[in-house]
């Protein structure tokens, strides 16, 4: 299962850092960047989070909020957010329901070993909850700038 451009975001409700709860209905009314990443405090995920953090003012000017999603625990998200001074919510999809709904829980391989994991992917969602852009198999360098340009054009 996956979500593509033109699809409406399916209903979900999960825990976020700081003891908050975020539901799909909370995404309506403002453009949202929902980005999926494999693991807190790893090199690529940290760089991606820092890039989104550093572009916060530009995203705010484009009337777009940023939300990160991984299967890490709320406690892990709280540490990650504090360590890197992240200025956006991190959702804990510990059951993997959002990852599966968005089609980012995929078979991966490293050093010849196959395993299931989160594909680095980003979804730009409009104020009505409709997906307008999708980036799969994201490469971190230059990605945030590309997402920002799409948000500004929406």
- Return all residues near 70 (Cβ < 8 A) that are at least 6 apart: 36, 37, 38, 39, 40, 45, 77, 90, 91, 92, 93, 118
Q: Model confidence over 89-146: pLDDT tens digits?
A: 999 999 999 999 999 998 888 788 888 889 999 999 999 999 999 999 999 999 999 9
Q: How confident is the model at residue 1 (pLDDT cuts 50, 70, 90)?
A: low
Beta strands 121-125 and 31-36 are: antiparallel
Domain range 13-153, CATH class: alpha beta
Catalytic (active site) residue 45: yes
Catalytic residue among 3, 45, 125, 131: 45
Cα separation, 22 vs 65, whole angstroms = 13
pTM of the model: 0.93
Q: Model confidence over 11-45: pLDDT tens digits?
A: 899 999 988 899 999 888 999 999 999 999 999 99
Beta strands 105-110 and 90-92 are: unpaired
């Amino acid at each position: 299962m996956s979500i593509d451009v033109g699809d409406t975001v399916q209903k979900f409700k999960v825990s976020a850092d700081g003891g908050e709860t975020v539901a799909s209905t909370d995404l309506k009314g403002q453009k949202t960047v929902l980005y999926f990443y494999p693991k807190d405090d790893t090199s690529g995920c940290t760089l991606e989070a820092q890039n989104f953090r550093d572009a916060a003012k530009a995203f705010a000017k484009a009337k777009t909020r940023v939300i990160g999603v991984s299967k890490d625990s709320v406690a892990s998200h709280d540490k990650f957010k504090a360590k890197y001074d992240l200025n956006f919510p991190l959702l804990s999809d510990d059951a993997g329901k959002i990852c599966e709904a968005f089609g980012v829980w995929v078979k991966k391989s490293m050093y010849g070993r196959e395993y299931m994991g989160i594909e680095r992917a980003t979804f730009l969602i409009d104020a009505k909850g409709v997906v307008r852009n999708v980036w799969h198999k994201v490469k971190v360098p230059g990605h945030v700038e590309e997402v920002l340009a799409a948000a500004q054009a929406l």
